[in-house]
């Protein structure tokens, strides 16, 4: 019986650690503020996670590096031609494809991600 109780205790601790990791991940994303979007929710969440992970890995904000990382993530997973603008202050006016626009902030960093159509060149 004692062995079964030890196993139950071990599993309980494991499940509690999983719950704590999930809560910590949700807490990290609470600083995300959606400003404007016509992008599907699953893609928004991908952008939020990508941006948060990159920001967490940086000692100091590197806007260019963050923009490149997000752009590459979306170019590789969703096809070309994604564009990303990152900064603490900027103005913009862009044309984008339907379902390919996201403007959000994390802490004091603003991120604009949008997709444009890629058309073949006629020769």
| Secondary structure (DSSP) of the chain | -HHHHHHHHHHHHHHHHHHHHHHHHHHHHTTEEEEEE-S-HHHHHHHHHHHHHHHHH-SS--HHHHHHHHHHHHHHHH-S-EEEEEESS--------TT-EEEEEETTEEEEEEE----PPP-
Q: Note the pTM of the prediction, 2 decimals.
A: 0.75
pLDDT at 110: 98
Q: What percent of the chain has pLDDT over 70?
A: 89
Residue 23 has pLDDT above 70, yes or no: no
Residue 83 has pLDDT above 90, yes or no: yes
Q: CA 66 to CA 57: how far, in whole Å? A: 10
pLDDT digits (tens, 9 = 90+) for 84-107: 999 999 999 999 999 999 999 999
Residue 22 has pLDDT above 70, yes or no: no
Q: CA 44 to CA 78: how far, in whole Å? A: 12
Q: For the chain, give the mean pLDDT.
A: 89
Which one is predicted more confidently, 4 or 70?
A: 70
């Amino acid at each position: 019986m004692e062995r079964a109780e030890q196993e139950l205790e071990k599993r309980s601790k494991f499940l509690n650690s999983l719950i704590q990791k999930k809560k910590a991940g949700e807490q990290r994303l609470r600083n995300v503020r959606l400003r404007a979007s016509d992008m599907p929710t699953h893609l928004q969440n991908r952008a939020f996670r990508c941006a948060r992970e990159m920001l967490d890995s940086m000692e100091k904000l590197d806007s260019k590096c963050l923009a490149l990382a997000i752009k590459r993530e979306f170019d590789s997973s969703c096809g070309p031609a994604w564009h990303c603008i990152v900064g603490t202050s900027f103005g913009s006016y862009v044309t984008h494809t339907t379902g390919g626009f996201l403007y959000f902030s994390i802490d004091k960093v603003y991120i604009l991600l949008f997709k444009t159509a890629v058309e073949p060149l006629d020769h």
